Amino acid sequence: MGYVLLTVPLLAVVLFIVLKKKHLQHVISVAASVTMTIAAGFLTWAVLKGGFIEYSAWGGFFRVDALSVIVIDIVVIISLMTSIFSVGYLENEIKHEKLTTDRMRIYYVLMHAFIFTMLLALTVKNIGIMWVAIEATTLASAFLVGFYNGKEAIEAAWKYIMICSVGIAIALLGIIFLQFSSLAVLDSSQFLDWTAMIDHATELQGPTLRLAFIFILVGFGTKAGLAPMHTWLPDAHSQAPSPISTLMSGVLLNGSMYGIIRIVAIVNRSFGNSMFVGRILIAVGILSVVTAAVFIFSQKDYKRLLAYSSIEHMGIIAIAIGFFTPVSLFGGLLHMINHSFTKSMLFLSTGNILQKYNTREISKISGLFKMLPVTGVVFLLGLFAIGGTPPFSVFASEIVVISAIFQEKNFLVGGLLILLLAIIFTGIVVTLFKLFYGTDIPKETPPGELNIPGVIVIVLLLGIITVMGLYIPNELRILIDQAVEIVIGG
């Protein structure tokens, strides 16, 4: 099933190029996403039963374990939701002459190429190939950031390419240091194999390993949107088509964080503690949350505001990994899942809002409940959800992370995090509440939802994050526990 997972998006790209009829493009996209979701389901079940799956073909590079599967499942589920949403979204763009059928085909080619690169990064055990795949995600998604070819979109795409390329180059230097640290331990057949590095972690060279971690954190942290390397993220998220913003926030950031987690597992096992790594990650995480708290009040673009929220939640995950206890890691991985589904719901909702009002400026939007009754309700509840209010899933995972911090008796970080989360929630409410009420609505546009498949998708996501806030399925709990054992070294 692992090979099916990687083959399907590549096959979809070929079919998009060959089959040019508009309705076939939609069918191929949704069918490919459904197939990937089914394949991931079988893969998840196999991992739950056997712990991991390793393929001997292609040099034995492919390996999937519980940590991989968690992020893979996020990728395929959000890709499916995005594919369904894109049908109505793209049809409306074509109807209003913002896109042509040929441009729609390019959109699908790039989107599924991006999905392939993400899945490749998550299914290999060679850190070098993982680096190549993460770099390839930049190339695939950069054209999607500048998809509308406007001045701001092209500027955002160039900024995204330049900053992330520099970051990924720094990560490559870190990977070279990582390999140097293992030269006396591993043979050529184990070149950059993270499973071998974990097995021989105590024999790796400590000083070189420290340099490797710092460079890799800066490099992958740039792609993950961690402060102060986050500057590309608000521009890219605001300019990309809303379904692509969904993939970038719910999928791309997690892929880079996954790379960081793999390296953290090696370094901490080598040192026998998490003091070195933990202090750096906690500092970077707090800085990311502070950055979101400072800038979220001044946003005039609702997509940029949601982008700063993504920086906040990547910071929370970094803090959870930094404390490196079973409870904090469980909370961090759970938060990765919860943030992805909640933020995906919000970014997809912005697609409906943008098509109805034709603006991203908060000051030009009012009467959302009247103009988009379902999207308005979902978006409002989504804002409460992403702000960390019960009964939604983000609240549950934030409580786990904060509890883990207080269990370590670190009252300073715990208290500061609670304060910052309260400030950010206030900023979201103060800035965006004006969207929902008021009478200044576009008279030339009649009320009503434009994208019915898209509405079904966001309502379904709302249901998922509500249920996840009240109940964690036992299989998911087992999967996260397995992932925590992998990271800690159990």
What's the whole-model pTM score? 0.95
DSSP alpha helix (H) spans, 124-252: 127-145, 151-181, 194-199, 206-224, 232-239, 242-247
Hey, where are the domains in the chain? 2-488
Segment 358-367 mean pLDDT:
87
Can you tell me the mean pLDDT for 346-366? 90
What 3-state DSSP class applies to 390? coil
11 falls in which pLDDT band (50, 70, 90)?
Answer: very high
Confidence band (pLDDT; 50, 70, 90) for 199? confident
Q: Can you tell me the mean pLDDT for 88-106?
A: 89
The two tokens of residue 425 are: 């929630």
Confidence of residue 342 (pLDDT cuts 50, 70, 90): very high
User: Tokens at residue 106, please?
Assistant: 């390019």
* Average pLDDT for 340-366: 91
What pLDDT, on the 0 to 100 scale, is given for residue 20?
Answer: 81
Provide the mean pLDDT of the chain: 91
Query: Residue 446 to residues 89, 369, 439: CA-CA distances in angstroms?
Result: 18, 13, 13
What is the mean predicted confidence (pLDDT) over 156-164?
A: 91
pLDDT digits (tens, 9 = 90+) for 99-124: 888 899 999 999 999 999 999 999 99
Task: Provide the 8-state DSSP code for 363.
Answer: G
* Phi and psi based region of residue 372 (left: phi greater than 0; alpha: psi -120 to 50; beta: remaining): beta
Cα separation, 151 vs 154, in Å, equals 5
The pLDDT score that the predictor gives to residue 97 is 83
Residue type present at position 50: G
For residue 394, give the nearest of 325, 462, 319 by alpha carbon.
462
pLDDT, position 100: 85
Q: How confident is the model at residue 442 (pLDDT cuts 50, 70, 90)?
A: low
Q: Judge whether residue 168 has pLDDT over 60.
A: yes
Distance between CA atoms of residues 489 and 485, nearest Å: 6
Q: Which amino acid is at 457?
A: V
**206: pLDDT confidence band, cut at 50, 70 and 90?**
confident
Q: Which amino acid is at 170?
A: I
Query: What does the pLDDT look like over 32-83, one tens digit per residue?
Result: 999 999 999 999 999 998 888 887 666 667 889 999 999 999 999 999 999 9
Picking from 272, 167, 149, the residue whose alpha carbon sits closest to that of residue 209 is: 272
CB count within 10 Å of CB 149 equals 9
164, 138 Cβ separation under 8 angstroms:
yes
255 vs 31: CA distance, rounded Å: 23
| Per-residue model confidence as pLDDT tens digits over 377-433 | 999 999 999 999 999 999 999 999 999 999 999 999 999 999 999 999 999 988 888
